[in-house]
Amino acid sequence: MKMKFLAAGLTLFGLWQFAAVRAAETTLADDAELVEARNAVPKLKAAAECHPKDNVLVLELSEYAGYSGLIAANGGLLPNENSYFFKNYGFKLQITISEEDSWSALNSGRICATATTADVLPLYGGQLAAFVPALIGFSRGADGIIVKSNIQRINDLKGKTLAVCQFNESDFFIRYLAQQAGLGVNLRPDFNTAPDPTKVNLIACADSFGAGDIFARDLKSNRGRLDGCITWDPKTTEVVEGSGGKARLLVSNKNLLIVADVLLFNKCFVDQYPQMAKGVVDGLLEGNKLVRANPENYYDVIGKAFKWDKEKTKGELRKVHLANMPENLAFFSGEIDAAGSFNYIYESSSAAYGTQFIHGNFNGEKYLHLAELKSIEAGGRYKDQKADIKPLRSTDAAQVETPLLSRDVRFLFQPNSSKLDMGNAKNGEDLEFLSKMLKVSPGSTILLRGHVDNAMVPTFQKQGGPEFVQKMSMKAMQLSKDRCLEVRGKLVQQFSVDEARIDYVGRGWLEPAGTDMDQNRRVEVQWFTVE
């Protein structure tokens, strides 16, 4: 009996051990997407020259429809003599598809050219010996922020935690919007570390698809560790549709054009092979023109390159805007009026990441090399093109009633006056801030909510009772409206903002922000985007 009992005891202990190991394995598997959060930008390999071999230039891209123009101009991925590049410039182009970071490969001369989003460039500062010669296009819905269904706007993410892949457009996307809402960002090293209740909290994942996967599992298991993720299609659609109503798309960049893809050359390559560099830029513009005009003619070659079927190719092309010549010129000059310019995105990224990740003051213009673009413009081949970036609206889109974000912008007025004090530098900065919010989001509108302080209400009560308070409240309401109208007038007159995109409402002293009267004299701005 004793022997049997001992054997049984060992068996039970073994089963307990097995169950414990399995539980640990399950926990590890649940968090397989997580990586150690980086508190510094990765070091790149040292800069070196790049020389094309056998007259073949290697261009590394990722699987993304925004690069379809280059593939169309080349007739596919492989180098060939029927490509636009060979027929017009005498060299062949080899396009390789890779999802790995290509920064070190470009820097060290292993490849001559690649593509990236403009927001990434400030992170690498003096490390990256590269030139940006052209805008490829804008992402128009590929990237998105998925959240629990009860979260309605960016401001609601205060104290919440989202999964993200660091140092790519997803990271920038959430940091940019948090900044616009006046929220800071906190990087949590792991789930055991408490989130910051005053900031948007981020957990680092190895890639953006992994960020979507871990959030989806968290929803399914009701663990409550995550409130959202930032990823891109098809993962955004997959997470929402698989959530059983628990998750929603908070916002995509369909009409928030701050994710801009740019061509990137090894610096030494441009210096030594200027004609090749010009050929790539010209081929990009030509390919973009062809695909924009007749996308159906290129479904096969694009689909073959990315291993997509026809329907997926069509769907992915709808999520990008391929840039033409005037859009390129406006992007780099800062004159583009319906999307983010290069300098705006660069500076926004610098501010969003802050001194924690960006060391030194590197002007974004050091990356620009527009000689090729200017030379092609001078040739006149694209002179009939027009900049054409419009809002994209779903045919069944419901009226948007909840703003994407709100932010207090305190314009300073003369005492008891609606005249805006333009001698105060901050007022000018805030007006420019509002104009840029509208420019980077075609079709979006802002609502100005004017307020006055309620410091005199007790005095009014003593002087004339409820009737006098009511009379003065009407004057306060009108003053708050007049202040909104003053702000709207400045935006229209000085920044050429369409008046129809600025709504306003006066709230008088009905919505105090607290007991600080300076805080109560404010204009709150709510931003409504088209989704």
Residue 132 to residue 284: CA distance in whole angstroms: 13
pLDDT at 23: 37
pLDDT at 15: 40
How do residues 338-394 score in pLDDT, each as one tens digit? 889 999 999 999 999 999 898 877 789 999 999 999 999 999 999 999 999 988 875
Confidence tier at 80 by pLDDT (50, 70, 90): very high
Q: Is the pLDDT of residue 187 over 50?
A: yes
The answer to whether 502 touches 437, Cβ cutoff 8 Å, is no
Query: How high is the pLDDT of residue 9?
Result: 38
Which parts of 163-273 fold into alpha helices (H)?
A: 169-180, 208-221, 235-241, 267-272
- Cα 435 to Cα 446: distance, rounded to the nearest angstrom: 10
From the number of C-beta atoms within 10 Å of its C-beta (0-12, 13-18, 19+), residue 255 rates as buried
Predicted confidence (pLDDT) at residue 169 exceeds the cutoff of 70:
yes
Angstrom distances, CA of residue 164 to CA of 215, 218, 294, 365, 370: 10, 14, 36, 29, 33
Cβ atoms of 225 and 211 within 8 Å: the answer is: no
Check residue 400 and give its pLDDT. 54
Question: Cα dihedral angle (385, 387, 388, 391), rounded to 10 degrees?
Answer: 170
Kindly report, residue by residue over 373-388, the tens digit of the pLDDT: 999 999 999 999 999 9
Q: Of 273, 252, 392, whose CA–CA distance to 321 is shortest? A: 392
- Summarize pLDDT for 214-247 with one digit per residue, the tens: 999 999 999 999 999 999 888 999 999 999 999 9
Q: What is the mean pLDDT of residues 2-16?
A: 36
| Nearest-10 crossing angle of helices 299-306, 310-317 | 100
pLDDT tens, residue by residue, 394-406: 544 444 567 999 9
- The pLDDT value recorded for residue 69 is 98
Widest distance between CA atoms in the chain:
99
pLDDT of residue 529: 87
pLDDT at 415: 67
Secondary element (H or E) of residue 492: helix 457-495
CA distance 434 to 406: 12
List the end-to-end C-alpha distance of the chain, in Å, as a whole number: 73
Q: What is the phi-psi region of residue 359: left when phi exceeds 0, alpha when psi lies from -120 to 50, beta otherwise?
A: beta
Is 422 a residue whose pLDDT tops 50? yes
pLDDT tens across 475-485, in order? 878 888 998 99
User: What does the pLDDT read at residue 416?
Assistant: 76
Question: What was the pLDDT predicted at 190?
Answer: 94
Q: Which CATH superfamily is domain 143-252 in?
A: Periplasmic binding protein-like II (3.40.190.10)
Q: What average pLDDT does the segment 303-328 reach?
A: 96
Whether residue 27 has pLDDT greater than 60: no
**Most confident among 67-71, 448-452, 453-457 (mean pLDDT):** 67-71
Q: What string of DSSP letters covers 419-462?
A: -B-TTSHHHHHHHHHHHHHHHTSTT-EEEEEE----TTHHHHHH
**Among 511, 500, 435, 470, which residue's Cα sits nearest to residue 523?**
511
**Amino acid 61: pLDDT:** 95
Say yes or no to pLDDT of 19 above 50. no
Q: Residue 90 pLDDT more than 90?
A: yes
20 — pLDDT class (breaks 50, 70, 90): very low
Q: How far apart (Å, rounded) are the C-alpha atoms in residues 515 and 292? A: 56
Count how many Cα atoms sit within 13 Å of the Cα of residue 58 in the half-sphere of its side chain. Answer: 16
Closest CA to 437 of 328, 344, 503: 344
Region 289-299: what's the mean pLDDT?
98
pLDDT of residue 401: 63
User: CA 290, 296, 299, 300 torsion: positive or negative?
Assistant: negative
Rounded distance between C-alpha atoms, residue 503 and residue 349, angstroms: 29
pTM value surpassing 0.75: yes
Average pLDDT over residues 272-297: 98
The domain covering 56-138+258-379 belongs, at the CATH homologous superfamily level, to Periplasmic binding protein-like II (3.40.190.10)
Q: How many CB atoms lie within 10 A of CB 406?
A: 20
pLDDT at 37: 94
236 contacts 252 by C-beta, under 8 angstroms: yes
Higher pLDDT, 421 or 261: 261
Predicted local confidence at residue 531, as pLDDT: 73
Do residues 372 and 148 make contact, with C-beta atoms less than 8 angstroms apart?
no
Weakest mean pLDDT among 81-90, 189-198, 387-396, 481-490: 387-396
User: In this structure, how many other beta carbons lie within 10 angstroms of the beta carbon of residue 362?
Assistant: 18
Identical fold for domains 143-252 and 405-528, yes or no, is no
**Domain extents for the chain?**
1-30, 56-138+258-379, 143-252, 405-528
At 512, is the pLDDT very low, low, confident or very high (cuts 50, 70, 90)?
Answer: confident
Residue 412 in this model has a pLDDT that exceeds 80: no
Q: Report the C-alpha gap between 383 and 377 in whole angstroms.
A: 7
Average pLDDT for 101-105: 88
Residue 14 — pLDDT band, cuts 50, 70, 90?
Answer: very low
Return the half-sphere exposure (C-beta side, CA atoms, 13 A cut-off) of residue 425: 0
pLDDT at residue 511 in the model? 73
What per-residue confidence (pLDDT) applies to 1? 29
Architecture field, domain 405-528: 2-Layer Sandwich (3.30)
